[in-house]
Amino acid sequence: MEVKTNEALLLKRRDPQEAKNSASAEESAVIKLYCQMPPIAKLDNSLNTLKNCEQLSLSTNGIDRLIPLSGMKKLRILSLGRNQIKKIEKLDDVSDTLEELWLSYNVIATLDGLSGLTNLTTLYLSNNLIKSWDELDKLASLPKLRDVLFTGNPIYETLSKEDARLNVLKRIPKVAKIDGDMVKQTERDAALGQ
């Protein structure tokens, strides 16, 4: 099912508590369209009417691709976990504001499409299809990235938890939290070869 431009449908599909407390979807800072029945399969440009949206939750649907979010100039948190997304793309319009990107439980194999997200602090990508450690090298250019989640990806299959964490630290040295646990100074030293 598509998200339609009809405001009534947007209001109907939002969290009931949120809809009760606000006048319209366009005015809301938080929009929750997760776990819809029937599931949302395709996004359309009606999302760009959500000009004040700071947090958009579209998790647990059937979404397979992203669309440009040119109207969402205030978006800080984008939750798209448990969908069918194959590729991280079309986030350029929110590159200055996006701080958290939740993409766990999708079918993502590469980490292209993230390099311009200069304010990204949190990236959750557990249970995807990341097979190469080289993909994580693409995240080193994100200056504010501090919290990452990669468990359940093929890159972790043959490694102990400790070795996986060291590999993440070697590639993204500024992270403070890996897979839900804070980075210890001993781990940081080991990753730097000290």
Q: What is the pLDDT of residues 93-114, one digit of tens each?
A: 999 999 999 999 999 999 999 9
Report percent pLDDT > 70 for the chain. Answer: 88
- 1 located within any domain: no
Which of 176, 164, 102 lies closest to 133, judged by CA? 164
- 2 located within any domain: no
Q: So what's the pLDDT on residue 20?
A: 56
pTM recorded for the entire structure:
0.88
Q: How far is CA 193 from CA 50, 72, 184, 188, in A?
A: 47, 43, 14, 9
Q: So what's the pLDDT on residue 4?
A: 38
Give me the sheet containing 122-124, strands edge to edge.
30-32, 55-57, 77-79, 100-102, 122-124, 147-149, 177-178, 181-182
Q: Is the pLDDT of residue 59 over 70?
A: yes
Q: Is the pLDDT of residue 68 over 90?
A: yes
Q: Is the pLDDT of residue 16 over 60?
A: no
Q: Is the pLDDT of residue 151 over 70?
A: yes
- 67 located within any domain: yes
112 within 8 A of 90, measured Cβ to Cβ = no
Mean pLDDT of 174-186: 98
Looking at residue 30, which CATH number applies to its domain?
3.80.10.10
Number of structural domains (the chain) is 1
Question: Residue 66 sits in which domain range?
Answer: 7-191
